[in-house]
Structure formats: structure tokens, C-alpha cells
Structure 1
Amino acid sequence: MKVVFGFYKSKKYLQRVMLSIVTTMVLVLVVSSITNTYMLERTVKRIQEDSNLKVLSQIRYNLAYMNDMISRLSNFVYRDNFLIPLMFSTELPKMDLIRGHRQMANIMESTSFLDSMVIYNKSQSELYGTSVNFMLDGGITKERIRKALINDRPHPTNRLIPISLNGSVNRIDTFAFIVTDSLKSFSETQSAIILFIKSDWVFDSLKKMNVTSGRDLGEVYIQTEDGSLLTSDAGASYTGAENQSRLTQLVHADKVAQGGTTSGFVIGEVADRKSVVTYMDDSLGAWTILYIQDYKQLMAEVTKSRNGSLAISGIFLLFAIAVSIGLSYKLYNPIENMLKQIRPYLAATDRKNEPAAGDELGLMSENVKQLSDQLKEISSGQIVSKYYVRRFLTDSLLFSHADMQHLIEKHNLNIKAMDGLLVCVLKFDHFAAYDGKVSNSSKLLYNFAIVNIAAEIMGKSYPCEAAEMRGDHFVLILSKVRQEDAAAIEGVKGMLREVQDTIDRYYGLSLTCGISDPISQFPSLSSAYAQALRLCQYKLVKGHKSIISSEDVRGNLAGKQSDLPDGVTRKLTEALKKGHLTNAGGELEKAFTLIAGYNYDDMIRAVSNLAFQLKNVAGEINDNRIVAFTIDMENLHQLLQEKETLTEMYLSLLSVCSQICEGQRPANMERNEMMLETVKELIEQRFTDINLSQQSIASTVKLSSAYIGKLFKESYNMSITEYMNEVRLNHAQKLLEGDSYTISEIMDKCGYANQSYFFRLFKGKVGTTPKEYRMKKSLT
């Protein structure tokens, strides 16, 4: 045995092979067991959720039905002539009092769910009731009713209100139902009838529902709008303040995650144990019904199944280890033969220096593991830090100054507010083109490089935190920048220019920068970030790779002009109609000079109005011409959206003006006819080509597909595709009249690859299928 053990111990690679095979088998077995358990657990959860929601739906229906039933009873009671004097009489005759008490007693005897009944007379500020406690406890119950429903605060009417007249916390002994002569909330200024419903009548029905459904592992609660849990069970487990707060958090978080749903199923830690919480809002919108179950008890069968699965896996694993030893040795034979040939050539010193506990690969693996763990720690810390930087920029108003200071110190963020903060936004120029042509892996590299370059350069003079935001821009938070120090702002601009030049030089990327005004409080970071983003928009005026502060666009921000003067647009229209490109260009330049002084929103609107004006002018000119000129005005607004500066927009509109002026010259009809005849000849020569299309034809004649298609349609009242099918189907008819080819061969000779498509087109033209057409021709 010792010899065998020594043999295996000396074979380092054999040990690794054996360990790999055994580990693989273990992993397969463990993963299989975990997967099966996970799937079983998910199935149990899904079934449990469906079952719980069905039960809660029935409970909600019962509560709604109960509320409706009590509402109907209350309307009847409120109109009772014997009770009206008790509510509204200033001085109540004794006989009216006796009749009223008798009538209340009759009503109490006619219903099984009423605990008591009280009438409040606002004129007398007096309560009249029927219960023994109310009449014989020396006014204690009466005072508790006043405190709970009259003196406390206004209460909603025609709705069940859970209260505790015995003073217990979270344990209710009755539900109050208030009826008044108005829909306003009840207060001491209104007379009312108050019906008290037995709490057990509500909660016992819930318990019975629970037991009859075989679900006695949980507890049912009613959660009010303020998060309180109500139950009639003295031994309830979840009524503590901490548990109520935890349940409220779980339910609210799940509702937010599910988009405001009114019911759901959530798992979390409650009362120091893992619990399953099923919730459903009642139909009145005032309560939430909760069904809480202990997760461990609920998953007892799953745990039992998992333990059984692990036991079976363990037995199989012992067998697998025995098989793996033999298999490993067979796999090791070629390696051992190779080592026998190599060892004679190894120096004795090399063999002596071999590690006793493992080989070189093992040591290297350990070093890589240590480095990987260190990188994970560093990466995790950076992820958390960047998360809070982004959170501060977008949601700083949700934090107090002290909370943000604590988080900054906790995560070692390089942000200080003693001498002022400055937010700088670096935004990509031509982002759409960059996003379309750069791969995701390259984007990650660029983002990493830009953040580090910016942080390194700016960090030379200021404490700096940098973060990537939404993929199209980056944010720098600079500390110790005083608001009154203009020289410091200029210094920041110089350093930002260095960042822009460095990134442009190494990566060929252009960035525009917006600089916020200095701030002194952490909660103002969001507004500073929003200001820097808005300032970046003014690259429309300043151009790409500009650095913009509020001082640089003060005139734009203060400008009140929003529309171009009528004289400019009128002269531009006249010049275009006369075909005077020079005059039109001059007026367009004047318009853009004026637009450059507007605020951002007005600039965009003014340029859009100019584009709309040019479109109208082109349409009006075309309407008055015998031969219309072709200018693609439909894509003009899309073209403007792709431009990022006023200069680019000006050149685009100037190009349109040039097309309008040139389009008024007499059209060369012969050229168009020659081009269209060429298109027809191409179709007639190449109709057998399956890949023949409008795009390929346009490419052949060196014109755009849209232009050649529009010209063909205007000239022949059919599209190029329709003409192509006409030629192909005519040829198919000729071939079908003979018996030389099959239908598949005819399709191939006519340029069709899809039989159903060919049959549909043929029947649309001839009225019959190709087979029927051939048969008819053969008979005639």
C-alpha cells in the first residue's frame, strides 16, 4: 500500500489529472444537485405564489363584500326615523331616547357581525350607544370612542376603520364604520352613526380560509396606510415596530420593482428569519392584506429532497473516484513515456530544485490567484466608489450634506467642499458616428483611458473624482475651487484643454466640455451637473472641442429673442424664388448670425423653422413649374438632427438653397429618358438574375436607389420592381406554352427562387396558377 501511495505521490501531473477528473465529477454532481434543487425550489415558489394570491383574492373579495354589506346596512340605519332624533335633536325627549335605544337594540339583534352601535349628536356633543360596556362602565368606553374617532383627527366615512378600544397596540378589537350626511371626512362638527363590527368576525374568516386551504404555516395580517399591522391574534409574531418597518420596506420595494403592482410575492428577512410575504391591496385602496410564512417550514420538503439527492450523489461519487483512478493512469501513460525520454537530458540540479509540495504550474497558479483576488478587491472598491459618484451627481438632493460627507469619507472619495466644488462634463463630439463604428470592447478601453487621463491631469492641481456617465459623456468633480477666484476658473479651462488635446492626440477623439458655476454644498452637485450638461449643448455655437462656462454664453442665456425677423425670411424666400443663390446665401448667413445669439432651445426652433421655410419654398416653386425639379426635402430635418454645430447646419441649408436655385433651370428631359431606357434595357437583359433589384440597378447607373425609383415611377406609373415582374412573368408565359421545361426550371430562367411568391404573382397577372395555364394552353 505504501509503495502504491508513493508511486502516485511522485507523479505530480498524474495527481493533477486524477484531481481534475474527480473534481469534474464532483462539480457535475454538485451542479446537477443544486440545479435540481433550485428548479424544485423555483417551482414550489411559483406554485406557492399562485396559491397564495388566489387565497388573498378571495379574502379581498370577502372584505369588499363585507364593506358593501355594511354600507347597505348603514344607509338603511341612517334613514331610520327612530334614530334621526338621536342624531340631530338639540333637546332629546325621553320617549325619543327610549325608542332610539329600542331601535338600536333591534338592529343589533338582526345582525350577527355588529359588536355595538353608537350615535353621535353634534348639537349635544353626546354619544348614545347600546353595548353593556358603553352603558355600565362609567363612561370609559364612551371616552375611548371620543378619543379614537372624534377628538383624534378626521376619519373617512363609509369605510372600515380598525381601532382598539381596550388600548392594545397592533391588536384591534373592533372595526368602526362611520355614516354621515356628506362625503367629507368625519369630525366632531358632524352628526353620525358609528357601527362597530366584531374584529373576530373579520379575522376568523381569514383564519378559516387559511386552514381550509391547508395553509396553516403562516399568519394573516391587515396592513394600514401608515404601515401598521393589525390582527386579532394575541400571539402574532410580526407586530413589533422593527418587523412592521421591515415588512413595509419589502412590500414597497417589490411594488416599485414590479411597476406599481397591487399584489405580489417577496422573500426577505423578517423577525430574524427568512420569510415569504404575499401581499395584495384591498379593493378600497386603504389596506394591504399580508400572508406571512416561514421560509424554512415552507421549503421543508425541498430541503428533504436536497438531502436525499446529496446522499445519492455521495454514494455515486465514491464509485466515480475508483473509476477515475484507473482512467487517470491510462491518460497518464503517454505523459510518463514522454518523461522517461526527457529525464535523462535534465540536469541533476534541476531535478533537485523541483518543489516538494507542488510543481511550477501550481506555484504560478497560486500567484495568479493572489493577484486576481487583489484585483477583485480593487475593482470592487472602484465600482462602489464610482456608484456613489454617479449617485451624487444624479440624486444629490436625496442626501443631506452630512450623509454625503459620511459616504465620501467611508469610500475614500476625493471630494472636498471646504473651498468650493466644480463639475465639468466632457461630452463626445459626433457621438452617433462613434457609437456606430466602435466595438463595445474598444469603448470600454476608451472610457477607461479618458477617465484616468482626465483624473491624472486635473488631479495635479485639484482633488478630483472622475466617472463615466451613460456612455456619451464623462464627469469630473473638482474640489477647492473658489467661486470668486476667476483665475482659478481660467486655470481649470487650461487643464481641460490639456485633457482634450491628450485624448485627441492618442485616440483621435474630440470632446466638448461644459463647466458649472462653483458650489459650496454637496447637495448642489445634481444642479451643477445639470448646468454643465446644458452648457455642453452650446457647442452648437462654440463648435466642437470647445470649453464652455456660463460666462461664455451669458448673452445666449439672457437673450429673449426667439424668432427671426420677418424681413430676413421674406428676403430669403424672394431670393430663392428668383434663383439668386448669392442673395439667398447672404440672407441665410444673416439668419444664422442672429440665431447664434439665442438660447439653445430657441436656436433649435429657429433652425427648424428655416428648414420648414425652405421646404415650403421648394414646394411652391414646384407647384408652379411644368417640369418639377427633384430635391429630397423630406430628410432635411433628419439631416439637421445629425449636425452638432450651427456651422454644419448652415452649410446643409446652404446646399439646399443651391439645389433650389439650380433646380429652376430647364430640366434635361432627354437625359432622363435615356437613363430610364437604360434601366429598362438592363431589366430585359438581366431579368434571369435572382439578385437583380432596384438597388443593384441604381448602383449600375451610378444613381441613388430612391432617386431612380422615384423617376421611374413618375415616368411610367409603375415601380421598377413591378416592371421587373412584368418582364419576368411575360417570359414565364411564353415558356409555359411549351413542354420543354418544368415549372422549377422556368422559375430559375425567370429569376424567381421562391415558388409560392412566383405562383402568387403569376395568378395576380393571369388569373390562374402556372400549372392551370400550361394545361389550358396545351388543350387549345
Structure 2
Amino acid sequence: MKFRHPLPASLKRHPTYMKLIFYFVSANVLVLGISFALLYWQSSKTLLKEIGDHSESLLVNSARNTARLMEWALEFSFSSSNDSALKVYALSDQYSDFDTFEVWSRLMDIKNANPSIDSVYLINDYTNTVVDSRLGLNDAGAFYDQDIIERLQDPVTANHSVLIPRTLSLPLTGNTPKEVMTIVRFYEKGSSISAFVMNIDTHNLMTLLQNNSKYANRSVTVLNDRDETVYSSTALDQKQIAELRNHGSKAESGWKLFHSRTQGEQLMVYAGTSIKGIQDWTFIETVPKSVILGKITVLRNTSLILFFVLFVASLTVTVLISKRVYSPIQELISRVMRQHQAEKPGLGYSANELDYLSNVFIAQRNQIDELTEQWRLNKFLGRERFLRDFLGETYHSAEEIGSQFVEWGIDLPKDQLSVAIFRIDHFSEFSETYSEKDRRLLRFAMSNIIQESLQSSKHKLQTVDMGDDHVAVVLSAPLSEEYAKKLQVSQQLIEQYLSVGTTVAWGRMLPSLTDMHEIYMETYELTQERFRFGHRALIVKAWLPGAPGELYHLPVNKERQIAQALSRGNADSVLEVIRSAVVKLREMSYFECKMSLITLFMDIRRLMQEHSGQPLPSSWGLTSIEKQIIQQETMENVVPWMEALITKTLEDIVAARSLSKNVALIEQADRFIEEQLTDPNLSAKMLADHLDLSVNYFRSLYKAETNQSITDKISEKRLTFICQELISSDSPIEPIVQNFGFSSLNTFYSIFKKMYGMTPAQYRRKHRNGNTMENI
């Protein structure tokens, strides 16, 4: 006989009880898990912050001390280079052995002044020699440190001759490489490479930095502001240097965690400092995150044991609480089943007690909601449809309209009715941004705001969503300033709550119910008057003048004034006439104003076409002009658009006129320069006088058309002829220069060297040698 444990069958009969147990246990596990994760994360975060802040403080101090050592070396090198004996030796073209020995002794004294100094050179460009504290006198071509010689000879690298990080191969030691910081002091910068050179041992300089901390796998790197590696405790490639620079900020200090491309997650500490304002260094220290957080593993394991004990205790309490919670639920289900004479669970109904109970309540509630919602929807849709037809179409009799009022519960009188329309401003922009569904919701919200703000009045009303850009309101209120102010309040509330501006128009009183469509169309047309009154206006039919005005035509004297301004390219005069015309147009109704504007544009278009050598753009077409006027909606928007269009078109006409004239002037100026090239008085003023122009205007015109100044053009032409003469003849340089208009030799030499990078004599030798080799 097999033994059967009674627990599984009991649990099957009470699935709700099992769910309660499951939910409580899941919640318990979730809370404990989140608590553990937060504790572990917060402890790691706190530890990292403390270590990061402490490491940042140490690195900042080390960076400052290292910078002071470097600044001392910099000051020492500059003061040492000012030694008169060294300076005289470096600039002399001859010397004795005793002089060389004296200089070498001084260099040795300078080197021995500080152990961080690796070596000191004195370079004499006139004798092509180098006196070195290590080897004595050397020929520059055979000197072991050719790198510094090449750097000083290159104009680009010579400009960065202070604090140069580089690798120096040491003589007498098998060319053992050593990292040094080189400081160069030129004695004649730009004329020769005679200089004082001091090499600082980078390893000795960075002693404080190396002893900053004792973390395993720690890496220290120093970069200058040109992203050159000043010092690195480990070998880095260019990608690793770029990665450190991207994460470490210049001239700032701090720390952060980042994922290294090759070494995993790292703690980076960085500090910036300036060396005498000459160069900025960034000190970067990286430590693997695993090294810092290695000991937190013990804390995590201890926490896991503690949480497991808490979980077991919580599970026991959960089981006991679930039993007490389940008993009242079971009693409630039995009572509901008896009351509704329902079937037992499992016979057509869900076996879950809570699902069964929920289904009973939901079914009843859904029935009630469905019937209520269907009645409301039919009532609302039917009333909306009738009101739209009432305004949009013509009903045959007042009796038919009255019966529809009764059917749909519309409480409005049968006389003394009028229509007000709330029309959305800038609707074309709104419709491009929002879908039809969103626009329908907006109109629904507008209707509710209007209904709520006006229903407190003793007069009755009905709001109607007419689609597109407006909501109509059927009013029983007689014309009065008081009710007009109420409409204005509704307008302000719509803008306040929906951020939508509206124009409100209130039409005339309704003669009879069958005329509602005609009154509605008149009122909608009345909203067009925002063209002259502007957006957010309140327009009342009874307050406007009744008789239409005449169309505006541009007077003959104004046309003549515009024609004269166009011939001179004077846009301000044209715009002045336009603005005076706009003042008169503002007094007209919408239709007369729009037609007058179109007529005004066509007159201006005709006058511009007469003064333009090419057809006007399509934006001046009749259809385009009318479309733009309608889209602008108000005169305030039309005026700046109109002024911008006229100004741009007139600028294009003027530019087309002046283009051919400027080209001819430049060609005439270039011919005159070639004819008067040997005249020493040839200048911008001479050219301007010849062309009968002001000097400043001609300078600006020539620079704008050729992207070159007149002085540079004259010098360029003269130098071309002088170079040809230098190569083809043996004449002295000075007569050649004077023949081509240069009155000052110093000026000529400066311009020639700037243009060709060498003296005239060097240019003659170089190109003659080249011609000789070609002939050979």
C-alpha cells in the first residue's frame, strides 16, 4: 500500500492560497534582492568616491610639486643661458681651444648643479659645432643628438622649442635610450640656430609622481597640451594616448571610471597644471577597478549569508499571514455563490476563487457601463450631427427644426438667435504638426471651455464642432458690450489652457430659423477681417461700417517715385512708398484690402521688370502672391514678408548691374599695374586717381573681387620680374631691385624672404645650379 501525502491535493483545491504564498515570497525575494544590490552598489560607490577623491588630492599635490621642479629647471636654464661668455661663444665665428675649454667647464658646472639635469649643449651655427657637457667639442654634422639639430633647423618645430619631450640615445653606453625634457634658448631666433640646450632627465623629474601611491598595475602618464607624451610608466600606443586624452580634461582635476579598450574598467585620476604659462601638462593615473574593489568580495559574501537567514524567517511569517488572509476570501466567495445560485467552481466557471468572484462583479459592471455609454454616445453624436446640418444646410421649415430641437434635447428659443465663431489662428502651421484626431480633440476641448465659461449667463447657447479650424456657438443673447466681453473671456481661457490663439466673430441676429445657414456663412466670412484687426481679435458685425470702400490704386506720382528709386537701387525709398500705401489699406475691409494688395504688387512687379535685365522669380506670380497673402492671415504678417520680398528682388537687380562694371574695373587696374611697374610711386592711391575712384572704396572693391590686396598684387608682379632678372643676369641685386620700383632694400628683402623663404642671393644660386644640372 502506497502512502499518499495529503498536501498536494489540498493545495490543488486552494489555488488562491498558493498564489498568495507565491506573491508574498516573490515580493520578499525582490525586496531582499534589491536591498542587497543597493547595499553592494552603495558601498562600492562610496569606497570608489573616497579613493577617487584621495587619489585626486595626492595627484594634484604631486603635479604641482613636479611642475615646480620643472619651472625651477626652466628658470635655471634661462638664467644659465644668459651667461655672457656662453652667449659670445655661441655667436662667434672663431674661437681658441682655451675658449672652448672655458665654455665646457661652465656647461659642466651647470649640469652638476642638479642631478635632474642629464646634459647641456651650446650650439654655434656660425662654426657648425656643438660643445656638449658629456663629450666636449663636436662637429654638428657628427653630433650624436641629430634630433635636436633637425628640430631647430625646421621653422615649424623651432617655434615649439621649450619643454620638448623626446627620447635621447646616449653615447658611450651603446646608445642606451633615455627619456628627457629638452629646453632650448635661441640667441638669434630666425637668423641662426645658435642656442643653449638643456636636457632634463624625465625619470628623475617624475620621482614624486612615481611614489604617489602603491597600487598594483598602476599606470602614470603625463601629456602636454600638444598631446605629446612627456612621461609614461608603461608603454602606450597612439590609440591608448588618444583614449586617455578623451577621458581626461585639460587644465582641470578630477576622477572617473571608464572602460579601457585593452585593460577593462579603470579608475582614472587626472590633474592639470601650467608650466610658467608656457605649456600645460595633464597628469593621468589609472588603476584597475578590480584592484580597488577586491576586498569588497568578502563583504558581499557575508551579506549573502545574512540575507539568506532573513529570507527563511520572512518565508515562515509569509505562510502564516497568507492563511489568515485567505480565510475571509473563501467565506466571501461562498456567500456570493449562494446569493446568485451559481455553479460550483470547476463546472463551467474558473476554478480560481478570486477569478470567479471578479468575473461576477465585472460582468455586472460591464453591462451597466455599456448601456450607459451607448445611450450617451447616441445622444451626443445625434445632437452634433443635427447642429452641423442646422448650420451647414438649409432646413425647409421652422416646424421641422423645432421638432429636432425637442428630439435631441436642445434648449434654444426659436427667435433672437445669432452665431459666434471661434476660429483658430495659424491653423495651416497647426495642421502640418498635428493629425486630424488631435485637431478633433482640440476642437472638443475648445467647445467645453466655451460652454463652461458662458453657461453661467442667463442666455442659452449650443456649441458645435464644425471641423477644420473653427467652432461655432449658437447664441440667444442680444447684442451688448457685456456679452462681447464674455466671448473675449472665453477666447482668453482657450489660449490659457490650450495655448491656441483664436479670432472671434459675432454675426447679426437671425431673422428666422430657416436662415441659420446664411447667418453662419456671413459670420465665417466675418472672421476674415482678422486680416486688418490682427490675430486674437474680437469682431462684431454690428460694430463695423456697412458700406464697402473702393479699391486702392497707386497714384501716378508714387509710381514715378518708385521708378526713380529702382533706377538708383534705393530700396528704402521703395519701402517708404509701400508703407504709406499700407497705412491706407488698413482702413479697408478684408476683400477690398486683399484685392488692393494684389493690385499694388502687380504695379511694383511691372516697374521692377522694366528696370531688370532678366525675368523676375516665380514668387512674383499672381497665384503665388495671392496664396502668400491668404497664408499670412493678417496685415502684420503681410508687411514684413512684402518688404523682405521687395528688398531681396531689388538686391538681385542691383547685384546683376554692378557685376559687369566691377570686372571691367579690375581688368583696367591690372593693366595699369603692369604698365607702371617700374614706377616707385605706384600705389593704391595712384591707381584710384587713375580710375577716378576714392582710395578706400577701390581698396575694398579690389579685395572683394580678387581676394588679394592692391599692395600684395604690386609686390607679386615686381617680384616675378626681379626673379627672372636674378636668374638670367649677373647684375648686382640692388640695381635690379631699384629698377623695378622698390625704393627701400630692407622692405624688399623682408617681402622676398616672406614670399620665397630665402634671400635673393640664395634664390639666384639655387636656381642657377638647377639650370646648370639640367643643361648637363
Compute the TM-score of the two structures, normalised by the length of structure 2. Answer: 0.44
Q: Which has more radius of gyration?
A: 2
TM-score after normalising by structure 1: 0.44
